[in-house]
Amino acid sequence: MQALITGGSGFIGGHLAKALFEKGNTVTVLDDLSSGKKRNLASLMNSSDFQFILADCRNPARVRRAVKNADTVFHFAANPEVRHELSSPKQTYERNIKATFVLLEEIRRHKTDRIVFASSSTVYGDATQIPTPVSYGPLKPISVYGATKLGCEAMVSSYCSTFGKKGIILRFANVIGPRSSHGVIHDFYRKLKRDSSELQVLGDGKQSKSYLYIDDCIDAILKAFESSNEKTAIFNVGSEDMINVTDIAKIVIKELGLKETELHFSGGVDGGRGWRGDVKTMLLDLKEIKALGWKPELNSRSAVEKTVHEINAANP
């Protein structure tokens, strides 16, 4: 297979590039390095079966060059931080919806027969059914980020139906691991490295969500890709339990060996959320992906503990 990964130097994309390459595929990565890092691809850079294209997904000419020979496109390029929308909704729209449109236009013109799209659990908004199944509706995102991901899902589905392609949509929970550069774990770690006497926690600390370790995430992506033959298939991808923000803070504090750190809660907004648009409770029903033979090896707590330990070990 000739695979193209947009956002392939990012956290998930970099791990996916390595996994696909090790399975004997030719891999091309298209990334503008706005949030990704070339070092995530260091082990692949000197191979003749790997190509890196420095480009923005909103640039049709550069995307055309990347898509030209691709059998499958893994579309993982996006605005990676939900909170960015508070200062720039337009950037979230352009990096998610506009970029996806440009990519799909090139896919329909070329031999590419499949697209795997990295969506998000944020498309569900404040779901009233927990765990939340793929069939849940109506979908009412409460963030611009979630809305753009849902819009991208609709475009992927429509292009696959109209132009004879196949699509896989993956609605991810919070994916974590040592090379991630954003999220609550990294926020806490950086804050405590600056000042270990106290830790400011956004919201009321009761926000409870599913966390998935990166190795489990990559296994799920590959399982969905290798096993699904639907016109457009949608899968929830996460762990089977939740952990709250207060417990995550305590795990980070314990890993750093701190004894007297005081937790201070901002109280948050709109019922204790960390920020407007923050989904307070998220747990996904994994029925569809588990039916393919996949399940996560680590639960949320274990994933958080492993991630914190690895981050700390890498930053002595």
**10 Å Cβ neighbour count for 226?**
10
Instruction: Specify the residue for token string 């996994």.
Output: 19
- Residue 237 CA from chain centroid, whole number: 10
Q: What is the pLDDT of residue 240?
A: 98
Do 216 and 201 belong together in one domain?
A: no
Written as one letter, the residue type at 114 is R
Please name the residues in contact with 154: beta carbons below 8 A apart, sequence gap of 6 or more.
none
| Pair 292, 228: CB distance under 8 Å | yes
Output the CA angle 287-295-156, nearest 5 degrees.
Answer: 60
Classify 239 in phi/psi space as left (phi over 0), alpha (psi -120 to 50) or beta.
Answer: beta
What's the pLDDT score for residue 82? 67
Q: How far apart are CA 175 and CA 11, in angstroms?
A: 9
286 in a structural domain: no
Domain for residue 247, yes or no? yes
Residues 150 and 273 in one domain: no
Residue 294 lies in a domain: no
Inside any domain, residue 196 = yes
The answer to the question of residue 288 being in a domain is: no
The values of phi and psi at residue 201, to 5°, are -110, 125
Q: Which domain does 201 fall in, by range?
A: 181-210+242-281+299-314
94 with 220, same domain: the answer is yes
pTM value? 0.96
In a domain, 292, yes or no: no
SS percent in the chain: helix, strand, coil, step 5 = 40, 20, 40
The token duo for 167 is 């699509």
Same domain, yes or no: 61 and 198: no
Pick from 1, 14, 216: nearest CA to 113 = 1
CATH at residue 309? 3.90.25.10
Question: What pLDDT, on the 0 to 100 scale, is given for residue 232?
Answer: 97
Give the pLDDT score at 84. Answer: 61
Inter-CA distances, 271 with 173, 207, 312, Å? 21, 10, 32
Angle at 159 between CA 153 and CA 160, to 5 degrees: 90
Cβ-based neighbours of 276, under 8 Å, separated by 6 or more:
86, 143, 269, 270
Residues 118 and 253 in one domain: no
Residue 45: both structure tokens together? 């850079």
Q: What is the pLDDT of residue 178?
A: 87
SS3 56: coil
Tally of domains in the chain: 2
Question: Residues 12, 155: one domain?
Answer: yes
User: How far apart are alpha carbons 276 and 231 in whole angstroms?
Assistant: 35
76, 107: one domain: yes
User: Do 58 and 199 share a domain, yes or no?
Assistant: no
Assess contact for 119 and 152: CB atoms under 8 A: yes
Domain identity same for 129 and 197? no
The residue ranges of the chain whose pLDDT is under 50 are none
Q: Given 237, 253, 272, which residue is the final one in a domain?
A: 237
- Look at residue 83 in the predicted model and tell me its pLDDT: 64
Do 75 and 203 reside in the same domain of the chain?
no
Q: Please indicate, yes or no, if residue 291 is contained in any of the structural domains.
A: no
Give Cβ neighbours of residue 68 (< 8 Å, ≥ 6 apart).
110
Q: Note whether 111 and 165 are within 8 A (CB).
A: no
Q: If you search the block for the tokens 């370790």, which residue do you land on?
A: 213
Residue 201: inside a domain, yes or no?
yes
Asked if 132 and 197 sit in the same domain, the reply is no
Same domain, 8 and 55: yes
Give the CATH number, domain containing residue 140. Answer: 3.40.50.720
